[in-house]
Amino acid sequence: SDDLGGGIWWKWNPNQYKNAIANNLFGLLAARLLKHTGNQVYKDWLMKEVNWMLNTGMLNGEYMVEDGLQNDGTPNRNQYYTYNQGVLLAVLTEMYELTCEQRYLSAAEEIALATLKNMTTPNGVLKEMHESTEPSGDGVQFKGIFVRHLSYLNRIAPKDIYRNFFKTSAYSIVINDYDPVSKSLGCFWYGPFHKVQSAANSCALECLIAFEGLQ
């Protein structure tokens, strides 16, 4: 809708909340449909979404992604999640591949570096800013989403800092977050093992697969 200058709603009937994840997933879908079909309508939607997103202030000056917009159009501040970082990073990488414009790649790289700076333990293991997010019903998947998209960025523009990050987090998962009894991986990659959850397994496996792909 045209409310708040554009973008799609997170919920509707009634319409509620224009946020980062709904809009960036929409942009990512448009980018990938464009790749597979060549249909320019998807390019039009992608450009519209990216231009709107970058003008909202949800990507702040520190390259942290605010969760969404308040009713007055100002971003919610200090609500940061790894999946928001990862999906926008992927959209901007797709934009770089599509346009060859360095500004998109530079922004994706800055988001990656901001995440590794602000959302890791002192030892460099990925974590959420709010620990309670990690075992929650949807939050348990967030870190895997970031890792999957950082792996994509690393294929396009590899950096040693990404490689070292994958190694550090993967090693910590195996050493500190693996339960040999249930043969499960937990949601806290820095340990200790929390509980058996299929989502926690799939999330941690994203990191192990990304690291294995570097070998």
- Residue 78: CB atoms within 10 A of its CB come to 10
Q: What is the pLDDT of residue 214?
A: 87
Which residues are CB-neighbours of 31 under 8 A, at least 6 positions away?
42, 46, 91, 94, 95, 98
Counting as low any pLDDT under 70, the low residues of the chain are none
Cα distance between residue 153 and residue 93, in whole Å: 6
What 3-state DSSP class applies to 81? coil
Decide: 63 and 111 in contact? Cβ < 8 Å: yes
DSSP β-bridge partners for residue 65: 59
Q: Which helix (H) or strand (E) holds 185?
A: strand 184-185
Cα distance between residue 124 and residue 102, in whole Å: 28
Computed over its alpha carbons, how large is the radius of gyration of the chain? 17
pTM score: 0.96
Cα angle 189, 194, 198 (rounded to 5 degrees) comes to 85
Cα distance between residue 12 and residue 27, in whole Å: 19
Q: What is the pLDDT of residue 78?
A: 82
Which residues are CB-neighbours of 27 under 8 A, at least 6 positions away?
45, 46, 49, 50, 53, 91, 94
Q: What is the pLDDT of residue 12?
A: 87
